[in-house]
Amino acid sequence: MTDNIVDKVAVQTEDSRNQGRRAFLKGSAAVAGGVMFTSAANAAGGAGFDPKKAVAPYAGKAEITDVLQDGAARKSLGFGVRKYPYGMPSPFEKEVQRRTLEWLTPDSMASITMSPIHQLNGIITPNGLHFERYHGGVPTINPDDHRLVIHGLVERPLIFTMDDLKRFPSISRIHFIECPANGALEWKGVQLNSVQWTHGMMSCVEYTGVRLSDLLKEAGIKPEGKWIIPEGADASGMSRSVPVELAMDDCFVAYAQNGEALRREQGYPIRLVVPGCEANMWVKYLRRIMVHDVPIQHREETSKYTELMPDGTAQRFSWYMEANSVITYPSPDFKMQGPGKYYIRGLAWSGRGKVANVDISIDGGKNWKEAHFTSVVLDKAWTRFEMEWEWDGSEAFLMSRVTDETGYVQPPMPQMRNLEGTNNVYHRTAMVTWRVHGWDQGKNGGMIENVQY
């Protein structure tokens, strides 16, 4: 929302540092008589770092005495430069994949894959793991042949080549992109045990492109133009209606993603970026923007992407993605390694701005503790949080709850269900709960399970 992204990043880095410090101070105050590295102790020239004390938790653990052997990597040369002119992940990472549920759709050209959220780190999704959603398959478009037209209620309809677009002032922004059906599988109860399935219809990347307001002004948008109708060059001719206020706020036309050209799966050569809003509006393979006086009532804003309520009415034009959060570790893809210290981590994001706080409960929502941020806190972007947890080995119910800068507090599932029913399909943004099985539960001890209230 703020214009100057450089300022913003600087401010937010400071912010997140403060967040971290605050949380730390709180944490150490809570551990009464805890770790003794206060400034007073240091100033007194006293204890300082005590290596013997530091390793105390290892006391009594059996020592490995077998002599370590050299591995193959040490005894032969590795491969040389340019074996892979475009680098690929280690073969040992081959299970880190986008995945789909084949029963969701009859056809792979109108389908979806989920990003392996539980295997990602930081706030950037690698391009090859970005989730996919197609309505008419992926076209392979030659950028030399691609054109973007802006017409309708404008003074001067214009057509742009890719070279034309790249001459405009550019902006780079990190934003999350989320399908409003993310979490839809969980409306009627729990279905699947993985963050990939419960929250994987989203990604977060850095986009570079041209501000949409610059392009619309370039063509002389007329005051009667209240809506813009973006359209794709693919088989689905994807369209939505975007109100002009939203278009002029912070939308842009992106040609790059994480420093390289967009991938075909994400709209090569250009896509619309509508920060904070339903990914369906971020039209890929963008070829035409019609400035119009009314919305078009496209299938994707009437038949689909509207939310059916328990009384049979339906909510439409639900553009914004509500604030949401999820614990990615520990989560159902992992198993606890025994009682002891853990760092609970996860992702929080809000379509309406920055994440303000994330709180974590280990007792199913009765009591909460504030987590601190381990990433920068950006507008409409993933934010990483973390909280130290001493697991005593008993059954626990982990939940995360985000509050965003607009003051919105993420609700628990029963509240959302009671108000909005379970037939909505879209915008299920209530909290999820991971049940950690007690360590004494035999072979299931320490297992982590998706449960719902």
Closest CB to ligand HEC among residues 300, 359: 300
User: To 5 degrees, how large is the angle CA 82–CA 87–CA 88?
Assistant: 135
Minimum distance between the CB of residue 103 and other proteins, rounded to whole angstroms?
A: 8
149, 157 Cβ separation under 8 angstroms: yes
Contacts of 267-270 spanning 24+ positions with Cβ under 8 A: 267/232, 268/140, 268/141, 268/143, 269/141, 269/143, 269/146, 269/162, 270/146, 270/148, 270/162, 270/165, 270/209
Contact partners, residue 372, CB within 8 Å, separation at least 6:
19, 20, 22, 23, 24, 385, 386, 387
| Residue 25 binds to other proteins (criterion: CB under 8 A) | no
Choose the one of ligand HEC, other proteins, none that binds residue 139, judging by a C-beta under 5 to 8 angstroms depending on kind: none
- Using the rule CB under 8 A, which residue among 120, 174, 179, 219 binds other proteins? 219
Minimum distance between the CB of residue 61 and other proteins, rounded to whole angstroms?
A: 21
| Residue 110 binds to ligand HEC (criterion: CB under 6 A) | yes
Under rule CB under 6 A, which residues in 133-162 are in contact with ligand HEC? 135
| Residue 188 binds to other proteins (criterion: CB under 8 A) | yes
| Cα distance between residue 144 and residue 142, in whole Å | 5
Q: What is the CA radius of gyration of the chain?
A: 25
Closest CB to ligand HEC among residues 105, 441: 105
Closest CB to ligand HEC among residues 235, 447: 235
Minimum distance between the CB of residue 162 and other proteins, rounded to whole angstroms?
A: 11
**Phi and psi of 133, rounded to 5°?**
-150, 115
Contact string (CB under 6 A) for ligand HEC, positions 301-320, x = contact: --xx----------------
Minimum distance between the CB of residue 355 and ligand HEC, rounded to whole angstroms?
A: 32
Contact partners, residue 304, CB within 8 Å, separation at least 6:
280
Closest CA to 156 of 63, 218, 98, 114: 218
Minimum distance between the CB of residue 275 and other proteins, rounded to whole angstroms?
A: 11
| Cα distance between residue 328 and residue 204, in whole Å | 15
Identity of the amino acid at 37: F
**151: β partners:** 290
User: Segment contacting ligand HEC (CB under 6 A): 96-104, 249-257, 268-276, 299-307?
Assistant: 299-307
Closest CB to ligand HEC among residues 118, 135: 135
| Residue 187 binds to other proteins (criterion: CB under 8 A) | yes
Under rule CB under 8 A, which residues in 390-419 are in contact with other proteins? 395, 397, 401, 403-409, 411-412, 414-417, 419
Contact string (CB under 6 A) for ligand HEC, positions 219-248, x = contact: -----------------x------------
- Using the rule CB under 8 A, which residue among 315, 340, 343, 440 binds other proteins? 315
| Residue 335 binds to other proteins (criterion: CB under 8 A) | yes
| Cα distance between residue 147 and residue 161, in whole Å | 5
Minimum distance between the CB of residue 134 and ligand HEC, rounded to whole angstroms?
A: 8
Closest CA to 117 of 283, 329, 368: 329
Minimum distance between the CB of residue 397 and other proteins, rounded to whole angstroms?
A: 5
| Cα distance between residue 114 and residue 279, in whole Å | 13
DSSP for residue 127: G
Minimum distance between the CB of residue 390 and ligand HEC, rounded to whole angstroms?
A: 47
| Residue 102 binds to ligand HEC (criterion: CB under 6 A) | no
| Residue 47 binds to other proteins (criterion: CB under 8 A) | no
Minimum distance between the CB of residue 327 and other proteins, rounded to whole angstroms?
A: 14
Q: Count of residues binding other proteins (CB under 8 A)?
A: 137
What are the structure tokens assigned to 41, written together? 């102790």
Pairing of strands 158-160, 227-232: unpaired
